[in-house]
């Protein structure tokens, strides 16, 4: 009975193609912590990054070099100090730091070459001295000022993977040791990247180690799987005093990039085989993700919204597009609904009705026609799909008479009546003959 396996493969290939289409021409910045550069899975990680590049994703690599710099300085008998997690790079140490940073970038370049990828190490980072902070002189430790974005884009346009050592230069060519995390965050912001990855040796942010804002959901093992940028800001505020800790610093950079429009910042564990592909293609939510507040206008419906939502649905009910719901009925089921609101006015709504079978129905989707084509419908559906995922549901489905193409474009696939939970199947309205579109969340 090989057939089901083949079908599973076909489904998987379809899914991969749809993701590949979605991310075509997008930009991912990937910072790899120095601890992962020695990990046995590194070659696999690099292979996966090359695959992403081949799928049309602009991929930029920023390796951390702390381990290599420590080794080189020790070997040459140069002592160093760190304050608040930042190395004080003396004038004596900087040539060795530079050597170690380029050496680290070079080892990645070698691995990329082994996978036939075109890659290049560049000097596109403008930096300035960190200077004296709280009485501490950081000497040749620098801060990233800006990226020479035009030169970088020219490299990306040629299909080349740029690799960034943790060095930046002043206008007069003086080298500074910069943080690879800050560099990655700045790159992602300036390139308006879709994703920024911090590949670390930790499984993410855990509630046992920090004060977590109340609105943030946690997984059963106490991990923060996702936070919005504003929640990340609250997190930083609530954990003042932990600035020197890696996770705090990563959330700080994630937040900075999020504010600059990077949609998703993933802090993931590089010790998991295939972590980057798993995170992108399966929505398994490994590690911790900070995401832009794209749903900021979507909120749960309140009792006082009932008249507005009823008005919004009215014309669509008359056209036979939506099922009739009385104001009384809406007053009962409003907690299942979310609305899209701007400046106090509701422009869209949609509901998620859960079934004991672990499925949920998306229903009552309506967008004010004066506000159509602005992505409101899409945001409402994405919001509900994310909610269903968070609730651990296996599948969402929708019954629609005239919008199956729209749902198809959102990744839903046509199903049959047999796919419906039993009580919903019994209530199927023969006169409407709606199509059943379903999205698998497992
Ligand atoms: C379908 C609906 C929710 C889309 O809302 P929206 O905010 O305009 O959607 P988005 O902006 O996210 O997406 C718009 C895209 O979807 C496409 N689209 C809209 N309605 C569509 C339909 N019925 N079939 C196929 N594609 C459709 C548009 O062409 C548009 O593409 P474009 O931006 O390239 O021009 C809205 O048109 C609506 O309220 N329709 C009536 C109610 C309904 O059918 N509900 C679903 C059944 S529960």
Q: Nearest 10 degrees: CA dihedral of 171, 177, 180, 186?
A: -30
Helix locations, 24-158, DSSP H: 42-54, 66-75, 94-114, 149-157
pLDDT for position 2: 45
Question: Do 314 and 249 have their domain in common?
Answer: no
Question: Do 96 and 196 have their domain in common?
Answer: yes
373 Cα nearest atom in ligand 1:
11
Question: Do 39 and 106 have their domain in common?
Answer: yes
| Nearest Cα residue to 352 out of 374, 321, 381, 310 | 381
Question: Do 220 and 327 have their domain in common?
Answer: no
- Domain of 308, CATH number, reads 3.40.630.30
Question: Do 266 and 354 have their domain in common?
Answer: no
Both structure tokens of 110: 């070698």
Question: Do 120 and 21 have their domain in common?
Answer: yes
Question: CA–CA separation, 376 vs 366, rounded Å?
Answer: 9
Contact 411, 439 (CB under 8 A): yes
Question: Do 225 and 368 have their domain in common?
Answer: no
Question: Do 96 and 171 have their domain in common?
Answer: yes
CA of 429 to the centre of ligand 1 (A): 23
- Of 263, 291, 319, the last residue of a domain is 291
Angle between helices 3-23 and 275-282 (to 10 degrees): 90
Lowest-pLDDT range, 89-98, 288-297, 318-327, 344-353? 288-297
Question: CA–CA separation, 191 vs 169, rounded Å?
Answer: 19
Provide the residue range defining the domain that includes 127.
3-291
> Looking at ligand 1, which residue's alpha carbon is closest to its atom 4?
377
Question: pLDDT digit string (tens) for 217-258?
Answer: 788 889 998 898 989 999 999 999 998 899 999 999 999 998
pLDDT at 297 over 80: no
pLDDT at 405 over 50: yes
| Nearest Cα residue to 364 out of 416, 411, 310 | 310
Question: CA–CA separation, 229 vs 254, rounded Å?
Answer: 8
Helix locations, 283-396, DSSP H: 306-318, 327-333, 376-390
> Looking at ligand 1, which residue's alpha carbon is closest to its atom 29?
373
| CA geometry: angle 147, 150, 151, nearest 5 deg | 80
Question: CA–CA separation, 379 vs 294, rounded Å?
Answer: 8
| pLDDT interval class at 343 (50, 70, 90) | low
| Nearest Cα residue to 250 out of 192, 208, 199 | 199
Half-sphere exposure of 413 (CA within 13 A, CB side): 9
> Looking at ligand 1, which residue's alpha carbon is closest to its atom 35?
373
399 Cα nearest atom in ligand 1:
48
Higher pLDDT, residue 344 or 241: 241
- What's the rounded mean pLDDT across residues 50-54? 93
Question: CA–CA separation, 207 vs 332, rounded Å?
Answer: 36
Question: Do 269 and 393 have their domain in common?
Answer: no
Question: CA–CA separation, 181 vs 432, rounded Å?
Answer: 55
Helix (H) or strand (E) segment spanning residue 242? none
pLDDT at 346 over 50: yes
Contact 388, 421 (CB under 8 A): no
CA of 283 to the centre of ligand 1 (A): 25
- Of 242, 276, 291, the last residue of a domain is 291
379 Cα nearest atom in ligand 1:
12
Number of domains in the chain: 2
- Of 291, 311, 327, the last residue of a domain is 291
- Domain of 280, CATH number, reads 3.40.1160.10
pLDDT for position 261: 79
Contact 191, 152 (CB under 8 A): yes
pLDDT at 283 over 60: no
Question: pLDDT digit string (tens) for 77-136?
Answer: 999 999 888 899 999 999 999 999 999 999 999 999 999 999 999 999 999 999 998 889
For the chain, the average pLDDT equals 91
Classify residue 362 by its DSSP letter. Answer: E
Residues with CB under 6 A from ligand 1: 316, 321-322, 363, 365-367, 372-378, 398, 400, 402-403, 405-406
Total residue length of the chain: 442
pLDDT at 201 over 50: yes
| pLDDT interval class at 210 (50, 70, 90) | very high
350 Cα nearest atom in ligand 1:
48
% of the chain with per-residue pLDDT over 90: 74
Question: pLDDT digit string (tens) for 9-51?
Answer: 776 777 677 677 778 889 999 999 999 999 999 999 999 999 9
| pLDDT interval class at 4 (50, 70, 90) | low
pLDDT for position 1: 44
Half-sphere exposure of 163 (CA within 13 A, CB side): 26
Lowest-pLDDT range, 2-16, 81-95, 277-291, 360-374? 2-16
Give the contacts of 361 (CB within 8 A, at least 6 positions apart). Answer: 352, 353, 355, 396, 397, 398, 399, 424
**Bridge partners, residue 266, by sequence:** 197, 289
Question: Do 398 and 271 have their domain in common?
Answer: no
Question: Do 384 and 406 have their domain in common?
Answer: yes
Question: CA–CA separation, 184 vs 63, rounded Å?
Answer: 9
Question: Do 65 and 208 have their domain in common?
Answer: yes
- What's the rounded mean pLDDT across residues 203-225? 89
């Amino acid at each position: 009975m090989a057939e089901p396996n083949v079908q599973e493969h076909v489904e998987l290939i379809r899914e991969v193609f749809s993701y590949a289409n979605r991310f075509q021409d997008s930009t991912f910045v990937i910072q790899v912590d120095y601890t992962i550069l020695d990990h046995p899975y590194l070659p696999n990680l690099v292979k996966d990054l090359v695959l992403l590049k081949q799928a049309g994703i602009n991929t930029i690599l920023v390796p951390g070099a702390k381990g290599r710099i420590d080794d080189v300085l020790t070997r040459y008998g140069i002592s160093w100090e760190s304050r608040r997690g930042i190395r004080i790079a003396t004038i004596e140490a900087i040539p060795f730091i530079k050597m170690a940073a380029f050496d680290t970038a070079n080892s990645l370049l070698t691995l990329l070459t082994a996978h036939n990828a075109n890659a290049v190490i560049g000097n596109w980072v403008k930096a300035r001295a960190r200077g004296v902070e709280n009485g501490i002189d950081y000497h040749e430790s620098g801060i990233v000022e800006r990226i020479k974005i035009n030169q970088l884009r020219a490299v990306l346009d040629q299909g080349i993977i740029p690799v960034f050592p943790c060095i930046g230069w002043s206008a007069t060519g003086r080298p500074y040791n910069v943080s690879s995390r800050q560099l990655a965050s700045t790159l992602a912001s300036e390139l308006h990247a879709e994703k920024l990855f911090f590949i670390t040796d930790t499984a993410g942010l855990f509630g046992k180690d920090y004060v977590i804002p109340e609105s943030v959901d946690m997984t059963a093992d106490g991990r923060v799987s996702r936070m919005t940028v504003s929640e990340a800001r609250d997190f930083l505020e609530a954990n003042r005093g932990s600035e020197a800790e890696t996770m705090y610093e990563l959330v700080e950079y994630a937040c900075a990039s999020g504010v600059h429009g990077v949609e998703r910042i993933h802090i993931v564990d590089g010790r998991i085989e295939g972590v980057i592909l798993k995170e992108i293609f399966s929505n398994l939510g490994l590690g911790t993700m900070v995401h832009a507040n794209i749903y900021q206008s979507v909120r749960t419906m309140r009792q006082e919204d009932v008249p507005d939502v009823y008005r919004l649905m009215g014309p669509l009910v008359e056209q036979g597009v939506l099922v009739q719901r009385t104001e009384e009925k809406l007053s009962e089921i409003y907690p299942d609904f979310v609305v899209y609101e701007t400046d106090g006015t509701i422009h869209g709504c949609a509901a998620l009705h859960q079934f004991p079978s672990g499925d949920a129905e998306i229903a009552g989707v309506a967008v004010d026609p004066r506000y159509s084509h602005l992505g409101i419908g899409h945001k409402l559906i994405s919001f509900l799909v994310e909610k269903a995922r968070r609730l651990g549901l296996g599948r969402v489905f929708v019954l629609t008479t005239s919008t199956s193409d729209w749902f198809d474009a959102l990744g839903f696939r046509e199903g049959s009546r047999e796919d419906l939970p039993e009580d919903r199947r019994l209530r199927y309205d023969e006169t409407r003959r709606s199509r059943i579109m379903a999205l698998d969340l497992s």
